[in-house]
Structure 1
Amino acid sequence: MKKTISLIATCFALLGTSYAQDQNARPFSLQESINYALQNRASLKATRNEEKIAKARVGEIRAMGLPQINGSLDVGDNFIQQQSFLPSEFFQDPDNPNSPPPGTFVPVTFTPAYTANAIVTGNQLLFDGSYLIGLKAAKTYTELSRKSTLQSEIEIAEQVAKAYYGVLVNRERMELLNQNLVRLDTLLSQTSVMFENGVAEKLDVDRLRVSLNNLKVEKQRAERLMELSEDLLKFQIGLEQNQPILLTGNLAEVEVDIAQLAPQNFNYGSRIEYSILETQRDLAELDLRNRRSGYLPKLYLNARYGYNAASNEFSEVTKTGNWLEYGYVGGQLQVPIFDGLRKHYQIQQAKLALENTKYGFETLRQSIDLQIEQSSTELTNALSVLDSQKENLELAAEIARVAKIKFQEGVGTNLEVITAETDLRQAQTNYYAAIYDALIAKVNLEKATGSLLTK
């Protein structure tokens, strides 16, 4: 079923007056509004920064597998030199009566007053199963971040579309209210002339004046609602509130085709939520592999190269000729033996997390099916209501026209005119509410089928 949402007022050539717009207003179509929001919404900019952070995280993890090189220079003053004890037998001298007695210990200073050390250290990871899996997980996490950004973009497109349609509906309603005011004011003037000529009663004039005043109040409320809907649209697209806007879209151009919006061969992958869940499943699988890799050994290559110097005189330390060179290169193999079954329980947790992720697919598919069915039903009902309200509006407009003619010709009452005008305004209100409901249902169905924002 294909419907084109057009104003019934068009059928009666009532849209001659356009809603006043600021000359400096910035023009926006619906697609331009969505594009502007995707570029300027602060929340989306923050989401894109999170995506960049995820990419930087990949580089951080990759750096762990590259050579790690550090340099250091230490120069110190051992102002209280550490001493060690040696047996007195090392100092026995038969010719020296002051030699320490046997069985005692003599404190000896081995530490120089000044020491210095310059060293460059380096290590290279040769094999670590967790590192290799971590690289894959980091790339997958980046993909998840990208999809999360797309999900935010879809949500923003939904918000902008609904706000944009709200402004369009309020704008058209304002146009019709202005025309109602002109028509009722004209009728009041004509009735006043009829009263002066003795054809109408003062009660007829008073009733029309009350109706006109009520319509003015209704217009004031509509103007405030119009401003509020424009402010909401500005917020949704990330535009400054003091910037006037001009919507170039038209309700008459909006088409709603249920057959296209709800295709028979629906692909769950077109829903970003399903795609995100697939990536989360991949991450859960990688996490399980990472836990299992904890049982594998790790191999490192280490190296050190440097100089050291020591002396009881600081000036001796500063001389390059007193520095001693040294170097070391070797490998380190770390083999896990027993960790109290910690990795065993971590693997159990990872398996259950992966299983829960797989269960999520069934739940999500059922949820998507329900959303599509609900959205399709809502749109079908909304279009049916729109047809009914359109017919009611046509009938109310015709009744108001005939009541006015009958009253002017003296064969009808003023009360009939007032009642017909009231019914017409109510029909107009119901018609625009039906238009808005149909547009919102259209957006909801587009989101449910994954066709709201395609790239």
Structure 2
Amino acid sequence: MKNYLSLILAIVTLTGSALAQGQTSQTFSLQESINYALQNRASLQVNRNEEKIAKAQVGEIRSMGLPQVNGILDVGNNFVQQQQFLPGEFFNDPNDPESPQPGSFVPVTFTPAYTGNAVLTGSQLLFDGTYLIGLKAAKTYTELSKKSTRQSEIEVAEQVSKAYYGVLVNRERMELLNQNITRLDTVLNQTRIMFDNGVAEKLDVDRLRVSLNNLKVEKQKAQRLMDLSESLLKFQMGIDQKQPIVLTDKLAEVEVSVAAVTPQDFDYSRRVEYSILETQRDLAELDLRNRRSGYLPKLYLNARYGYNAANNEFQQITKTRNWLEYGYVGGQIQLPIFDGLRKHYQIQQARIALDNTKYGFETLRQSIDLQIDQSATELTNALDVLDSQRENLELAEDIARVAKIKFQEGVGSNLEVITAETDLRQAQTNYYAAIYDALIAKVNLEKATGTLLTK
């Protein structure tokens, strides 16, 4: 009991804090809840950032085909000047016996103490087969990133739908529990009056009190489950847990039918997984083309323009007249001749990867067919159970009503009333469990047929 009081105090405190902060309730239908989640779920924001990264990668690859221009300024001190050997004949003086003799070599310093170089380089890719195919592959990868985001959106819609239906079912169950408590409390008060008048026994009153106490405990448990289901819905929507929400959809308005969910002419492309596999196949084909294009030549246009200077005194380098101008422009062609069969084996790998992707279509089609059949069967079974539990609930309500009338008229026992009420609560529990199972099966079938999120 202390735990229950503590829970109630905590709820009151949180409610008071929310009111003090001026928070107002937000209303959501199922579709509004899904739309809110699609805009605010952090996981989807990550997916959309991945899309932006993919677009930036396209720009990065495209930049490789644009002119590449660089500027370099280099000034240095050759503190150990490099020397070269020259034949002694160059320095031989017949009149000087100490001069270098023929056959000897004399080290000579050609490198000045200080050098400088200022150059502007530019290059332009004229033709590269791998670049062109890589650009197409980057764009296709962007499409794959978008489809991956779409797949995540469908998963979020599934999670929000199931959580939303869970709250609706728990809300209806709470209303029934309140009605049960009111009805049983009325019977208890009537039984007390009958006991005071000597018509009923104290045992009858005690039995009803026990049953009412158990029902109140069940309501407390249901309330906690209700709060938990709302917290789960807020989490799936990406909304602050402290934000009060009100659901506008009614459980009775939800249409649950196998025919309504299953499309007449099913197209595998409705499933985002199939579309993703198509894009993966396109990427595999581009990868194969990219490997083959490695045998094509590459053509570049190169240009250089700059100045250089050299002197044994640093001050002389700083003077403009000591810098010598030079320039170059030309083309370059790269011809692949032999790479040890590396590209040959890369092409083999790419071809096999493409074949595996094509085989994946048949596996995916079979998987989708199985998912649809399984989900349709689950929904059909759930609807059959729901019809049975609905009939059981109607019978239990009628039995509880008759038992109450018989007891009030003195021709029935108090034990019949309690038993009937217990059976009624069990029938209600079974009925709402069947409703929830049917709703979950409906969402699973919608996902299997690709109709869960159509916008």
The one-letter amino acid of 2:377's match is: T
The one-letter amino acid of 1:321's match is: R
- Distance in 2, Cα, partners of 1:173 & 1:40: 30
Which residue matches 1:286?
286
Which residue matches 1:369?
369
Which residue matches 1:187?
187
Which residue matches 1:335?
335
Q: State the 1:97 CA deviation.
A: 3.9
CA deviation string 1:166-212 (max 9, x = no partner): 00100111111111111111111111111111111111111111101
The aligned runs of 1:23-422 (5 Å cut-off) are 24-422=24-422
CA deviation string 1:137-178 (max 9, x = no partner): 111111111111000000000000000000010011111111
Which residue matches 2:8?
none
The one-letter amino acid of 1:149's match is: T
Q: State the 1:86 CA deviation.
A: 1.5
The one-letter amino acid of 1:49's match is: N
- Distance in 1, Cα, partners of 2:391 & 2:435: 13
- Distance in 2, Cα, partners of 1:209 & 1:339: 91
The one-letter amino acid of 1:30's match is: L
- Distance in 2, Cα, partners of 1:140 & 1:401: 67
The one-letter amino acid of 1:214's match is: N
Q: State the 1:68 CA deviation.
A: 0.8
Q: State the 1:392 CA deviation.
A: 0.8
Where does structure 2 lack aligned partners over 5 or more consecutive residues? 1-17
169-178 or 258-267: bigger deviation: 258-267
The one-letter amino acid of 1:168's match is: L
- Distance in 2, Cα, partners of 1:216 & 1:24: 29
The one-letter amino acid of 1:286's match is: L
Q: State the 1:102 CA deviation.
A: 3.1
Q: State the 1:445 CA deviation.
A: 0.8
The one-letter amino acid of 2:270's match is: S
- SS of 2:256 mapped into structure 1: strand
CA deviation string 1:293-348 (max 9, x = no partner): 11111111111111000111111100111110001111111111111111111111
Q: State the 1:256 CA deviation.
A: 2.0
The one-letter amino acid of 2:389's match is: Q
The one-letter amino acid of 1:275's match is: S
- Distance in 2, Cα, partners of 1:183 & 1:93: 133
- Distance in 2, Cα, partners of 1:24 & 1:199: 52
TM-score of the two chains, using structure 1 as the length reference: 0.94
- Distance in 2, Cα, partners of 1:86 & 1:294: 46
- Distance in 2, Cα, partners of 1:100 & 1:339: 51
- SS of 2:200 mapped into structure 1: coil
Q: Greater relative contact order: 1 or 2 (C-alpha under 8 angstroms, separation 6 or more)? A: 1
Runs of 4+ in 1 over 4 A off after TM superposition: none
- Distance in 2, Cα, partners of 1:102 & 1:279: 76
Which residue matches 1:9?
none
- Distance in 2, Cα, partners of 1:368 & 1:108: 82
- SS of 1:181 mapped into structure 2: helix
RMSD: 1.3
The one-letter amino acid of 2:454's match is: T
Alignment of 1:446 with 2:452, yes or no, is no
367-376 or 80-89: bigger deviation: 80-89
TM-score of the two chains, using structure 2 as the length reference: 0.94
- SS of 1:96 mapped into structure 2: coil
- Distance in 2, Cα, partners of 1:291 & 1:80: 48
- Distance in 1, Cα, partners of 2:24 & 2:400: 39
Query: How many residues align structurally?
Result: 435
- SS of 1:102 mapped into structure 2: coil
- Distance in 1, Cα, partners of 2:251 & 2:27: 16
- Distance in 1, Cα, partners of 2:97 & 2:281: 85
253-262 or 130-139: bigger deviation: 253-262
- Distance in 2, Cα, partners of 1:188 & 1:410: 15
324-333 or 253-262: bigger deviation: 253-262
Where does structure 1 lack aligned partners over 5 or more consecutive residues? 1-20
